[in-house]
Structure 1
Amino acid sequence: MQKLIAAIALAFLSQPAFAEEAPKWSIAIHGGAGTLDPDTMTPERRAEYEAALQVALDAGAKVLAEGGSAMDAVKAAIIPMEDSPLFNAGRGAVFTWDGTNELDSSIMDGRDRSAGAVAGVKTVRNPILLADTVRTQSEHVMLMGAGAEAFAAEKGFAVTPPEYFATPARAEALERMKARKLSALDVDHKFGTVGAVALDQNGNLAAGTSTGGMTGKRWGRVGDAPVIGAGTYADNRACAVSATGWGEYFLRVGVAHEICARLRATNEAKAAMAEGDETAKPVERDEAQYIADAVMADVKSLGGDGGVILVTPEGHAIFSFNTTGMYRGRATSAGVSEVAIFGGEATASVTTDH
């Protein structure tokens, strides 16, 4: 591993630096990845998803443009997606086998690596806000189920009735799964987890993720989204990452932390090789892309599908996914503002051709 990192560092040390000035702030969002087919998506449906992504992206970008923190930008971007029935988070979450909606979320601050997470909550409209309250108002990192809901009530969160989260499309997916004895992958075709990563004008990073999990999940199943290091990670020394996909595989790889660890190690290797040269460049965009793609290739090698978004301290907003599409967007202080769905669009890097 150390030899690989050194080789990567040496290769990129010899390349010219990018000419453009690094963005003062940057944000990337996702609304899930999976088997998405442009031929089966109507123009109206596509426009609906693109509009919802743009609303979330604009909300986060506004916070950053006005000098707000990366943490506030991440929450601002995720809340509209939790409130939208289009995504598998908050309202619109998938149903468990027992016909309930169980919500998971996590958030992390790259300044001090403080983090908060909740799993299996049923009565909190915006789980990302509860996750952040765990981070700031408790001595814990993760709370689950009834305990997390008791904590929410103690902190003043309103109790949201179950019917708020339920949508006909998600109910039909569960019915179809049971009637035809299908797997969650057969009925979902995509992972609608939502997330955001951001770099603010003070150079701080943050990441957040929110999901309803997988259709028909049983026995209190929890995926990667609320697990710090698997679905979410932020470290000012490396990057901020949010993942979406088949959680069992993202847990096994430790995707979010793995990407940040490789980026940090590469930065340290480059600094050591430069021997104090102040002109030595930190991780470049192509280098960060290579690392993200390599980790997603590892997920694929185990049999897992999904994708990641990440932002580096230099403001590079990166996408990597090994599925046919990922609902995504990015914006920077340099004037970039774009959303996309299918592979090959906008700034996406697709690590497989299936």
Structure 2
Amino acid sequence: MKKIILLVILSFLFTACKEDTTMISEPPEKMEKAAEFSIIIHGGAGTILRENLSPENEALYKTTLEKAIKVGHRILKHGGSSLDAVEKTINVLEDSPIFNAGKGAVFTHEGTNEHDASIMDGSNLNAGASAGTKTVKNPINLARAVMEHSPHVMLSGTGAETFAKEQGLELVDPNYFYTEKRMKSLERVKASEKNKVASFYDEDIQNSKYGTVGCAALDKFGNLAAGTSTGGMTNKRWGRIGDAPIIGAGTYANNKTCAISSTGWGEYFIRGMVAYDISALMEYRELSLREAAKEVIQTKLKNLGGTGGIIGIDKKGNMVMEFNTAGMYRATMDETGALYVGIFKD
């Protein structure tokens, strides 16, 4: 009898601890509906073609995206804030060597790693960002610290690292960010420039050159948040900074409209103020998130000559993943636990 009771208890605990997840094949923007909470992530957009991605690497990307989004979803499900969900989800992506952020950051022309990140609170339009750091393990944590514990929006370089140390954030030796894969990418980019030969055939270069990771979330309190983290461009020079730490370009969140994280060729996202533009179209022209994102990414950004995409979530929990490239690493989860993971355009 005692064994039966024990088996019942263990069965109950196992069921209670199981992740409430249902895999779906259709992107959530095709099933628009209001949700109590939702979360969406990306791991970069670019020339990501099915024929160039091995089954092993495809599985690795999907597994890591799923792992990351479940961290944020769990926080939201248990009443946590959208800011916490965004930060902790991005931490998982930053700690993975396969995405161009944190551990997996690409190399500059000089062979160093320089990180940029930003985060924004849609409830009060507060924001924080950091740029050009080399020793901060998780740049998104620094961006949040800047937002919450400084009078500034953006800090850069050695000053940002000094602030990070004062805030007790984890600092690492620059060698922590070294990966052989990214170093080989740098070498191939330099070789292609020297020989004036395009490198579109190189899956690794194309997938990492403009890569970024990002997250947007809506919590049970109706608050939106977004964050973005990146290692920038392979072979970047002169302290180049892209759109990821620029509020309104790489990241934007406003409870009135939406939360957006961008990925792509940063110079064009800065010129178009892509993340804010989507919000503005929703607020002033009363477009839906889907309509606004499509107009900005497929028309306005293209007309500038820019490539890339965005993930977004509106105040009702509806989500979009809009991109004008061949692929974008992406995933979504809603209040029901429905999980979608995608890579290619189809």
Q: Which category describes the TM-score, using the shorter chain as reference length?
A: 0.7 to 0.9
Partner Cα distance (1:235, 1:266) in 2: 16
- The equivalent of 1:60 in structure 2 is 72
TM-superposed deviation, 1:185:
7.3
- The equivalent of 2:179 in structure 1 is 167
For structure 1, the 5+ residue unaligned runs are 1-17, 268-282, 345-354
TM-superposed deviation, 1:42:
1.2
- The equivalent of 2:217 in structure 1 is 198
TM-superposed deviation, 1:192:
2.1
- The equivalent of 2:27 in structure 1 is none
The equivalent position to 1:43 in structure 2, one of 32, 55, 62, is: 55
- The equivalent of 1:115 in structure 2 is 127
The equivalent position to 2:272 in structure 1, one of 253, 271, 282, is: 253
- The equivalent of 1:325 in structure 2 is 327
Tell me whether 1:229 sits opposite 2:231 in the alignment: no
Q: In structure 2, the residue corresponding to 1:208 is in which secondary structure?
A: strand
Letter in 1 for 2:230: T
Tell me whether 1:79 sits opposite 2:91 in the alignment: yes
Letter in 2 for 1:171: M
RMSD: 1.7
For structure 2, the 5+ residue unaligned runs are 1-29
- The equivalent of 2:34 in structure 1 is 22
TM-superposed deviation, 1:221:
0.3
Partner Cα distance (2:65, 2:197) in 1: 28
TM-superposed deviation, 1:108:
0.1
Residues 141 and 169, structure 2, Cα contact 8 Å, conserved in 1: no
Tell me whether 1:102 sits opposite 2:103 in the alignment: no
TM-superposed deviation, 1:235:
0.3
Task: Sort the Cα spacing of 1:314 and 1:321 in 2 relative to 1 into closer, same or farther, 3 A.
Answer: same
Task: Sort the Cα spacing of 1:37 and 1:312 in 2 relative to 1 into closer, same or farther, 3 A.
Answer: same
- The equivalent of 1:313 in structure 2 is 315
TM-score of the two chains, using structure 1 as the length reference: 0.84
Partner Cα distance (2:181, 2:145) in 1: 31
Q: Give the percent of matched residue pairs that are identical in Structure 1 and Structure 2.
A: 52
- The equivalent of 2:284 in structure 1 is 265
The equivalent position to 1:213 in structure 2, one of 226, 229, 232, is: 232
Letter in 2 for 1:134: V
TM-superposed deviation, 1:179:
2.3
Following TM superposition, where does structure 1 have runs of at least 4 consecutive aligned residues deviating by more than 3 angstroms?
Answer: 18-21, 182-187
| CA deviation profile, 1:28-55 (whole Å, cap 9, x unmatched) | 0000000011012111110000000001
Q: Which moved more, 1:335-344 or 1:62-71?
A: 335-344
Partner Cα distance (2:31, 2:96) in 1: 39
Q: In structure 2, the residue corresponding to 1:216 is in which secondary structure?
A: coil
Tell me whether 1:340 sits opposite 2:334 in the alignment: no
Residues 67 and 201, structure 1, Cα contact 8 Å, conserved in 2: yes
Residues 184 and 215, structure 1, Cα contact 8 Å, conserved in 2: no
Q: In structure 2, the residue corresponding to 1:329 is in which secondary structure?
A: strand
Letter in 1 for 2:123: R
Q: In structure 1, the residue corresponding to 2:50 is in which secondary structure?
A: coil
Partner Cα distance (2:103, 2:197) in 1: 22
The equivalent position to 2:261 in structure 1, one of 242, 252, 261, is: 242
- The equivalent of 1:189 in structure 2 is 206
- The equivalent of 2:295 in structure 1 is 294
Letter in 1 for 2:303: S
The equivalent position to 2:138 in structure 1, one of 126, 129, 145, is: 126
